[in-house]
Structure 1
Amino acid sequence: MTTNGPFGPLEFQLVLLRRMADHQPELVDDARHELGASPADMREANRRWQAMVRSPRSRSAVARYRSVLGAPESVTRRRIGDLECDALLWPVVLWPALRFEVMTAPGGAVWNGWLVRAPGEAGPEPRTAEDLRPWSCTVDEVARAFPPVQPLPGTAPTRTGLRFTLPGGGVGVAEFTWGLLQRRTE
């Protein structure tokens, strides 16, 4: 892999993996090998992404995603309360059943960017805490499976948490990076 070429979908997936490596280094190593990338490639992709995000001449967040990932596979109008927003979806090679979703506010500001289940793809139906294995579920899937849930602040950018109710009334915590389950605690 070369680090001198344009920053595209492959490099973006390395950025996703870079943050996930904190919790799941073995899964990240396997995925990185699948992409044909070295640890240095992953670090360089992350460095370039951070430079784009922090540049004083930076384009808007949605323009940045479009320039890196190309035209979205789909754009869907959604209503959240009184607001209408757009959900832009892009495929990701590493997770063919998932899409990278960017939610934009009216006017184009990006509210959120994370992995979600692709439309029409059957997702997992976890029933127990043991079903919550790393990289098996998205935030929405855990929230639907174990209500009620309480969102928790993330420990770093791109991280989120959910406190959820286990069958029988116990409580668990799921931690996500870029919307994909990394680990759970009880």
Structure 2
Amino acid sequence: MTSQGPFGPLEFQLVLLRRMADHQPDLVDDARRELGVSLATMREANRRWQARARSPHARGALSRYRAALGAPEHTVRRRIGDLECEALLWPVPLWPGLRFEVTTGPGGAVWNEWLVRAPGAAGPVLRTAADLRPWACTVDEVARAFPPARPMEGTAPTRLRLAFTPGQGQDQERWVAEFTWGLLQRWAPERPESLA
């Protein structure tokens, strides 16, 4: 892949993997091998994506996704409070049970961009922290499995953290799960400094 070559679904998956490599380098290496690409190719795809996003002539975020991924597989209208939004979903071959979802508000502004469970696909059964596996569940699935979950600021724009209690009862320890592009990366007991 050269910087003049096309930027399509393969390159976009490499962008997702690049950010996940910070938490799950072994899984990312396995995924790269499955895709048949080198570490240098992954880095170059990420560099190109970032250059497109930061260019003074950059397209809007939704246009960049459409250019890389083509027409969405599904488009769904949703209501959040008083606002209507649209969710656009694209398949991601590395994770066949997931879709990359871009949620847009009025005027096409991108509100959210992350991996979600594909419509009709079964998610994992989550009862305790022992049921959690890296790359096996999404933000929404962990939040629904362990209410009341509390969203927390992530450590980068594509990251989110979620505080949750993995068991029953008031005396249960709180945990924090970390997600990249909406996909679970790691989790650990909550520390006092993570409450800020």
**In structure 1, the residue corresponding to 2:142 is in which secondary structure?**
helix
Instruction: Find out whether 1:181 has 2:184 as its counterpart.
Output: yes
CA contact (8 A) 1:124 1:137 kept: yes
Partner Cα separation in structure 2 for residue 63 and residue 93 of structure 1 = 21
Question: Residues 59-74 of structure 1 correspond to what in structure 2 (within 5 A)?
Answer: 59-74=59-74
- Could you tell me whether the CA contact under 8 Å between 1:161 and 1:176 is conserved in 2? yes
What amino acid sits opposite 2:74 in the alignment?
S
Distance, in Å, in 2 between the alignment partners of 1:34 and 1:165 is: 35
Aligned-CA RMSD value: 0.9
Task: Report what 1:122 is aligned to.
Answer: 122
Alignment of 1:1-186 (within 5 A): 1=1, 3-168=3-168, 169-186=172-189
Contact 1:125 1:141 in 2 (8 A): no
Query: Partners in 2 of 1:174 and 1:42 — Cα distance?
Result: 26
Flag structure 1 segments of 5+ consecutive residues without an equivalent. none
Q: Retained in 2: the 8 A contact 1:87–1:104?
A: yes
Task: Report the Cα distance in structure 1 between the residues aligned to 2:6 and 2:26, rounded to whole angstroms.
Answer: 28
One-letter identity of the residue aligned with 1:181: L
Q: Which aligned runs of 4 or more in structure 1 are off by greater than 6 angstroms? A: none
Letter in 2 for 1:109: A
Deviation, structure 1 residue 21: 0.2
Identity of aligned residues (%): 75
The separation in 2 between residues aligned to 1:15 and 1:60, in whole angstroms, is: 17
Distance 1:47 1:176 in 2: 22
Give the total of aligned pairs.
186
Question: Structure 1 length normalisation: TM-score?
Answer: 0.98
